């Protein structure tokens, strides 16, 4: 039997914090994992045993630390990312944690919250940086089974499908790593530039106007819109920008002409809550349909495809050589940002087009394998979504 409860009825809720960065003693050894939103995936349940950043034992009394099986939920910025601690972890102020009581299994609640991500996002109360405060989070209502035995069966079923999804994602990651390895084999580490390729400013391979994207109010988005809008979430951490299943809104003919995308456009993340996300780029795929626009938190650089191959440029943009230049030009206040001028100060290596095209052909061969794996992943994801709707809908 299902019941509707508030989160505060299912355990203790704690908001994270950050020990003072001015106290070097708090950060001078890596004793306790310090979880920030970038530790948690945006689209699946993340099991957290490690994090990029750690605090020392000296900071233990100044931090918020939760035990194994605590659920971590991002409540500022990208709202509703869900993780489960696999050991004691500290976490920052963008995250709320739930230490569950006897009414619910931790992983069951985590899955239920993952299914509630859209509803969590809808109650975030700030248009620029979405925020759910502790009071809102504590009062958030969720539907759960009252039987622990039933909860356990649900978790077992979802874990099985999740394992299949993770295996397919691992295959895709292996193929992505293969592309990067081939890049280094063909072009070397750009920082060292062992093949002595020509080094030019990125402006040398641009053909057209660099620009920020299209703006529409949140309330203007609707499935009946005449354009699809590609935002930051569809740009970062991928070779090709995602052009399917995008949010829709309405745009004028002038806006469509100005912000429509095509192969050869390279898109950069203009603002991020974490420095690691700033300036990450992807390229617009071939055969992109009409009326796909890019939004205002994205910068478009139209590449000159007579001088560079977009796939070469995208992989180059992931190297330390390029990333270090981008981060050096970024600015941090509430958010980390980079402007057009910051990106345009970057230098790149520029091998001959014949070699870049050879790399392009390799990428396309790998893409054929990725299509097969992606199809299997999509089928597993469809099953997972169906089960989530069955269990929590």
The whole-number average pLDDT for the span 137-166 is 97
What is the C-alpha separation between 299 and 339, in angstroms, rounded? 8
- pLDDT of 43 above 90: no
Q: Which whole-number Å values give the CA distances from 73 to 53, 55, 88, 238, in the listed order?
A: 18, 20, 16, 24
* H-type alpha helices, the chain: 106-115, 117-123, 134-138, 148-187, 253-259, 310-317, 320-329, 340-344, 353-392
Q: What's the predicted TM-score (pTM) here?
A: 0.79
Q: Tell me which residue of 155, 149, 168, 105 sits closest to 382, measured CA to CA.
A: 168
Is the CB of residue 39 less than 8 Å from the CB of residue 83? Answer: yes
Domains of the chain: 2-145 (3.90.220.20), 147-196+351-393 (1.10.287), 198-349 (3.90.220.20)
> What confidence tens digit (pLDDT) does each residue in 156-169 have?
999 999 999 999 99
Q: Tell me which residue of 134, 121, 92 sits closest to 6, measured CA to CA.
A: 134
> What confidence tens digit (pLDDT) does each residue in 22-31 have?
999 999 999 9
> What confidence tens digit (pLDDT) does each residue in 176-224 have?
999 999 999 999 999 999 999 999 999 999 999 999 999 988 888 999 9
pLDDT, residue 334, reads: 60
Q: Percent of the chain, pLDDT > 90?
A: 86
Phi, psi of 323 (to 5 degrees): -60, -40
What is the C-alpha separation between 330 and 347, in angstroms, rounded? 15
């Amino acid at each position: 039997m299902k019941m509707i409860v508030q989160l505060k009825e299912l355990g203790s809720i704690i908001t994270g914090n950050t020990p003072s960065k001015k106290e070097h003693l708090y950060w001078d050894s890596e004793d306790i994992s310090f979880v920030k939103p970038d530790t948690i995936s945006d689209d699946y349940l993340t099991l957290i045993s490690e994090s990029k950043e750690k605090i020392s034992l000296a900071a233990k009394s100044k931090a918020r630390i939760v035990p194994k099986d605590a659920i971590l939920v991002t409540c500022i910025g990208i709202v509703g990312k869900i993780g489960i601690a696999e050991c004691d972890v500290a976490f920052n102020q963008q995250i709320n944690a739930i230490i569950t009581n006897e009414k619910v299994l931790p992983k069951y609640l985590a899955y239920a919250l993952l299914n509630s991500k859209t509803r969590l996002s809808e109650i975030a109360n700030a248009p620029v940086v979405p925020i759910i405060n502790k009071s809102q989070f504590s009062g958030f209502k969720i539907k759960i089974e009252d039987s622990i035995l039933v909860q356990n069966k649900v978790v077992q079923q979802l874990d099985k499908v999740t394992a299949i999804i993770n295996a397919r994602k691992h295959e895709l990651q292996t193929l992505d790593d293969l592309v990067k390895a081939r890049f280094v084999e063909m072009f070397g580490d750009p920082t060292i530039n062992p093949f002595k390729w020509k080094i030019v400013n990125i402006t040398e391979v641009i053909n057209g106007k660099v620009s920020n994207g299209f703006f529409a109010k949140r309330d203007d988005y609707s499935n009946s819109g005449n354009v699809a809008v590609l935002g930051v979430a569809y740009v970062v951490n991928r070779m090709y920008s995602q052009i399917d299943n995008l949010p829709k809104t309405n745009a004028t003919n002038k806006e469509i002409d100005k912000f429509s995308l095509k192969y050869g456009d390279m898109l950069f993340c203009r603002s991020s809550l974490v420095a690691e996300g700033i300036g990450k780029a992807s390229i617009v795929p071939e055969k992109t349909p009409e009326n796909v626009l890019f939004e205002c938190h994205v910068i478009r650089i139209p590449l000159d495809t007579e001088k560079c191959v977009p796939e070469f440029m995208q992989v180059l943009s992931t190297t330390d050589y390029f990333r270090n230049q981008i981060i050096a030009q970024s600015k941090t206040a509430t958010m980390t940002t980079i402007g057009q001028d910051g990106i345009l100060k970057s230098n790149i290596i520029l091998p001959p087009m014949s070699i870049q095209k050879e790399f392009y052909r390799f990428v396309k061969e790998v893409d054929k394998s990725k299509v097969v794996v992606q199809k299997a992943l999509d089928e597993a994801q469809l099953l997972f979504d169906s089960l989530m709707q069955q269990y929590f809908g």
